[in-house]
Structure 1
């Protein structure tokens, strides 16, 4: 073997060794990436700040790989990459989904009890509510940012607009769920609605575009009464009933303890038992304030418990329960026995009536789409309470539902396939291929662009003409004519419409979109928050981009 052969062999060996080394390096990098992705899933799922070392993650890593050294910068990168991957899938699912979306605006503050550094004091969250392909209610967070990082002119409108543009869902949005505090600027939202309609070619009824949170109105009604009970009075009651520390708490807890004091006072416990003689007791005037709070807040709590602790908080459950609250409050007002009570009852009724009138159409429509009620409860309620200048409110609801149904029916209209003329093609095999879609790809006629799609007036004509065709009884008429279901408290309206989808293919789509509108941002214990909603503690010291990635990814399905 000469020197040239040796040199050639040596070069080949070096190339093979280099390729082997590169393969080993690639394998090691892939393994490292896999580990960091696993740790990122843990951080997202358990709410762990990936910016700092945490015993949960480090213990998990060292159990699997004792020699592995955690790099928090790589963990942050893994979290951000997973968020971007998930976001692409969420965008596609939202755009391809059949139903409409409600976008919800929420404002979160940091807790007063947080120890350690705080980079951001408050956050804006935008979530999408909808019914998925299985007709299950979903809530996905689409944006969660420190308020100061947004740098927008209108914190309400622009925050939501940024999310709509980011996820490209302008054709899907039907309603906005907003809090009940502050001046939201109705004119700005009306312009925003028109922007969505134009950009997404998405007609939206202005009467149901902007809806307000039910748990917020309950909280504000409670606040109207509680503002006259000062902290010193609360401290005295706390001492009497053995209440825990005086800290901000949910209003249902406050009601429970004040009612406990009222019950004890009614039994003369504080006067007859020696244990209470050394405690300063409320005056007669203060007892009136406490009893007023308990009686009126007690009415609110009865309804709130049914609304927010129920298993199926779809929009159909609100109308009849809020109507019940209206009746209870009016009864208390009628039977009031002192000026203070009457003043407070009128004050909270005035607030409630404004909410009731603003929300009547969407709540009543959802009630009609509950097969346990249909038109029966609405007609019953209107016969006892409501008559507007334009006629019965029941008729207004039916007119709205008919127009909504017509719009959905018109959107289902599509041109029928054009059957080839037999005289133009006498070959039977050609007709066979057409009927059974078996023609070769090269024989298919190239589809020409349809210029009519851009003709606005003509497209409106198609919707008008299609919605006015009545060859047979509509699904809506058929549904309303059928008897109502027997009352059953634990009833899943969305599940019922899913099962009836084949019978009511158009109306079931209407029902899905109406019933999935969230009337309240808070459910369960969150519905009773007395002051402000708090953000998770672990995000307050994180940078804005990482906060958004963590909060959004945690709410999304495992895609």
Structure 2
């Protein structure tokens, strides 16, 4: 066709094509044939709406001259509507995507695990985010924001009633767990919601373990109690950092000290945040790498010494040694918080693994010869024991999730309990875990107890009339009538190099363990932190910025939920699309490499 167009004498664009060939700078849109091309108005407009939602652009940008110019070049025949029409199409897209997600949930979600949290916007309005976590039919962990709705208060009863209303609107009545932070109001809300869910007959184990406490929040409380004595060494280093960050001139002098000491660390010192104790580790880690720079600043800057002497004084050599000693311990908290805060991978099977590990380290720190370190560890232990030191407060579903990891099972669980508890307490906890997993297996098996030896013998006796020669004794001796649970627990621990993909393992072995695989599919979806819901508030803060504070709560919910639902469909960035910031710095300095 292209060859024909080039030689056809009646082609009206022949002269134009010759001019375009001779002049490479000619605009492609100038071709009359291209100008007459029709575009799909609806498809282009839907893509434009998705772009505004994904990029969190204000609706007023639809009238921006730069956008209008760009659209006039690539799609001159596209009709660009007003921001009111854009808002109306946003609500329309929200409705259509909600219908698709509702259909997907009905087909792929067996039991749903929920996380929720509340937030106050710059409009001084309260919002509640409800996020669903589940494993679909392809054994992929899914996270979907169901609602980002306005609430009248932050009370537990309001939270519970709002969750109940949201679940009813989505048609979700099979809830496994609800993960919340440790606010006392949530305890009241969970009790109300538990009664409602029990009336729906959708909870397992009588709903005793539906309440999940955010592990990241507990770790934050433990860290906070460790530093509640206002340790002087940390306070002096914090004051030094605050000094150098208080003005541009002081920061430039500090940077000069960094250059004089040839410190290769590229980052700068930073202050911690009261509500996030992980930031204390980041602050001390960066400060320790700049120790020589602070010592150089102390020799050069008298004002630095004078101002810090008004408080606790300048950091001493002993302070730096103390920080160097506790930094590995704080790093353990930091790494644990980062690993359990993910929402794109399974975290329930690492909950007690990490929690018990933290407890063991705290015990070791309590035995330290350093009085300050042992005092800090004792304060942490008090808070740790409140949540994880009492076996009766441990959530059995999370211990069972660890057993359902083919690399750990009951063998590792027993060893871990023996490391964390003593004597009768450890024995009682091990018995409780075993009885809980058998009870849960019975529920998933429809109430049938297949693993009891007595039931096996009774069944063999019933079949005795059909077995005059006693051949069934052979099958009984070989254990062919063992339940799935017994077979799974008696198998050797899985051995593999690197991290084991637990979801893929259960996908491949679901044929051998159909009942246990249903248990694993539900329990492994339990989130052990509310980070998934908290991250939605970061999006809410960007959507409801100072220039968009007039958005209605319905529009805010439409923007945040639709953005979350569309995220999974966007292709990931390739390595070539990720900027190399080292090369970018060279480019900005004038060292262009092409």
Secondary structure of the 2:157 match is coil
User: Are 2:106 and 1:80 aligned?
Assistant: no
Aligned to 1:404: 440
1:178-213: per-residue Cα shift (whole Å, max 9, x none)?
Answer: 013x21353442232121121255445433200011
Question: What displacement does 1:268 show?
Answer: 11
Question: Residues 237 and 318 from structure 1, CA distance in 2 versus in 1: closer, same or farther, beyond 3 angstroms?
Answer: same
User: Are 2:130 and 1:126 aligned?
Assistant: yes
Aligned to 1:343: 375
Aligned-residue CA RMSD in angstroms? 3.8
Question: Residues 310 and 210 from structure 1, CA distance in 2 versus in 1: closer, same or farther, beyond 3 angstroms?
Answer: closer
Aligned to 1:537: 542
Aligned to 2:223: 222
Question: Residues 337 and 466 from structure 1, CA distance in 2 versus in 1: closer, same or farther, beyond 3 angstroms?
Answer: closer
User: How many equivalent pairs are there?
Assistant: 461
Contact 1:129–1:137 under 8 Å retained in 2: yes
1:382-426: per-residue Cα shift (whole Å, max 9, x none)?
Answer: 23332555943122111111111111111xxxxxxxxxxxxxxxx
Aligned to 1:517: 526
User: Are 2:514 and 1:505 aligned?
Assistant: yes
Question: What displacement does 1:169 show?
Answer: 0.5
Q: Measure the CA separation in 2 of the matches of 1:553 and 1:404.
A: 36
Q: Measure the CA separation in 2 of the matches of 1:268 and 1:72.
A: 53
- Which of 151, 155, 158 is the equivalent residue of 1:155? 158
Question: Residues 309 and 202 from structure 1, CA distance in 2 versus in 1: closer, same or farther, beyond 3 angstroms?
Answer: closer
Aligned to 1:459: none
Secondary structure of the 1:155 match is helix
User: Are 2:327 and 1:327 aligned?
Assistant: no
- Which of 330, 346, 350 is the equivalent residue of 1:297? 330
Secondary structure of the 2:511 match is coil
Aligned to 1:174: 176
* TM-score in terms of structure 1 length: 0.72
Aligned to 2:591: none
Question: What displacement does 1:328 show?
Answer: 0.9
* TM-score in terms of structure 2 length: 0.68
> Which shifted more, 69-78 or 229-238?
229-238
Aligned to 1:270: 295
Question: Residues 351 and 151 from structure 1, CA distance in 2 versus in 1: closer, same or farther, beyond 3 angstroms?
Answer: closer
Q: Measure the CA separation in 1 of the matches of 2:67 and 2:383.
A: 49
Aligned to 1:473: 482
Secondary structure of the 1:535 match is helix
Question: Residues 60 and 373 from structure 1, CA distance in 2 versus in 1: closer, same or farther, beyond 3 angstroms?
Answer: farther
Contact 1:225–1:293 under 8 Å retained in 2: no
Question: Residues 307 and 550 from structure 1, CA distance in 2 versus in 1: closer, same or farther, beyond 3 angstroms?
Answer: same
Q: Measure the CA separation in 1 of the matches of 2:379 and 2:155.
A: 35
Question: Residues 273 and 83 from structure 1, CA distance in 2 versus in 1: closer, same or farther, beyond 3 angstroms?
Answer: closer
Question: Residues 366 and 152 from structure 1, CA distance in 2 versus in 1: closer, same or farther, beyond 3 angstroms?
Answer: closer
Q: Measure the CA separation in 1 of the matches of 2:133 and 2:109.
A: 13
Question: Residues 162 and 48 from structure 1, CA distance in 2 versus in 1: closer, same or farther, beyond 3 angstroms?
Answer: farther
Contact 2:141–2:345 under 8 Å retained in 1: no
Q: Which has the higher contact order (CA 8 A, sep 6+)?
A: 1
Q: Measure the CA separation in 1 of the matches of 2:563 and 2:405.
A: 32
